Chains A and B, each alone.
Chain A
Amino acid sequence: MSRLADAQAPASDPTSPLQAGTRAPDFTLRSTPDQSVALHDFRGQPVILAFYPADWSPVCGDQMTLYNEVLPEFQRYDARLLGISVDGAWCHMAFAHDRHLQFPLLADFEPKGAVARSFGAYRHGDGTSERALFVLDRDGVVYWSYISPVGINPGADGILRSLDAMQVRRKAA
């Protein structure tokens, strides 16, 4: 677990993620070397955006591996999961293949970190995205956002709580 990264982040530029109620900025990113995914493709469905610093985290329980196992739960809410890092599409392909990931990893590669920046989830000192979660409602509005200490995998409990709450809100409407 690296605390060093935190210490190196410029103090004048604290990361502030897009807050609940904000419309998520649209984007189009490569999911493979020859395919792209646009956020607006998923309008009408809850979307989970999981920004993470880098592919190839050296532990069994890395965040993307965990979410891969939890995918059937996310699908019960009709939610789509998108992983995003500044790694390139070829790197994502190798990583997804190695971990048997069943959801897209998007390459926020050129201009580097542009989407992370637009969500307030970029680590300027490190040149990577934060470990940041955004749960978007069916209209593409942020319902919940969270930035985890970069060395701590935030787990999936916060995502599931948000999906629960959104479902309750929808039924009440």
Chain B
Amino acid sequence: MTMDSPLLAVPISERDHMLGPANAPVSLVEYGDFECPYCGRAYPVVEEIRRRLGDRLCFVYRHFPLTQIHPHAQHAAEAAEAAGAQGRFWAMHGTLFENQHALTDADLARYAAAIGLDLARFTQEMEAGIYIPRVREDFLSGVRSGVNGTPTFFINGRRHDGGADLKSLVEAIVHATLPAPAIARGARR
């Protein structure tokens, strides 16, 4: 991470899907794509970071589907929103990342049923495409924030330019949250 890495253009707000307290000392925002294998690999990493930091972390997931290379990513993102409308965003989010290779519309409906959604409502909303604008809003907020691929993470509002592995992310979080004098001491060693 460099000091001139771009900043999150749209701050975390109540419109976001969020795990952990909004006022937690660490915020981690992921722009992701449910069909992206790198995002799939980052999913258990984020789970582990959430486990380690507990209430000290606020995790937010925003959509950044790369639709030209991932033909199912857009509908998968909409399915997560449709689940969110029924209070089950995170159940769908986890299911999609655990089943990245089966994301056809029929698969999405199957997952909707499995996590207990009202299937008629889910199907109707998916067919009407009512979450297209919401997914596009996320995408554009990402573009304006300097999202440069998937996954892109922002730690306390600044883009993380390192790896999406556990070690890189944990180090970046520690660095971002240490008081400045402690970092300076570390740098002198």
Contact = CB atoms under 8 A, between A and B. Distances in A.
A66 B148 contact: yes
A59 B145 CA distance: 20
A5 interface: no
Interface of B is mostly: loop
B143 interface: yes
B149 A59 contact: yes
A155 B147 contact: yes
A62 B36 CA distance: 12
A157 B33 contact: no
B149 A61 contact: yes
Interface string B34-69: 001110000000000000000000000000001111
B150 interface: yes
A152 B163 CA distance: 11
B143 A155 contact: yes
B168 to A, nearest CB: 11
Interface stretch (A17-25, A68-76, A111-119): A68-76
A153 interface: yes
A17 B140 CA distance: 28
B75 to A, nearest CB: 16
Nearest to B31: A61
Nearest to A59: B149
Chain A residues touching B, majority SS: loop
B139 interface: yes
Given A60-B38, A65-B69, A152 B161 contact: yes
B40 to A, nearest CB: 10
Interface string A50-84: 00000000011111011011100100000000000
A154 interface: yes
B149 A60 contact: yes
A145 to B, nearest CB: 16
A99 B69 contact: yes
A99 B68 contact: yes
A100 interface: yes
Interface of A: 1, 59-63, 65-66, 68-70, 73, 99-102, 149, 152-158, 160
8 contacts: A59-B149, A60-B69, A60-B149, A61-B152, A100-B68, A155-B143, A157-B6, A160-B143
Given A65-B149, A156-B146, 6 more contacts: A69-B68, A102-B68, A152-B161, A153-B148, A157-B6, A157-B146
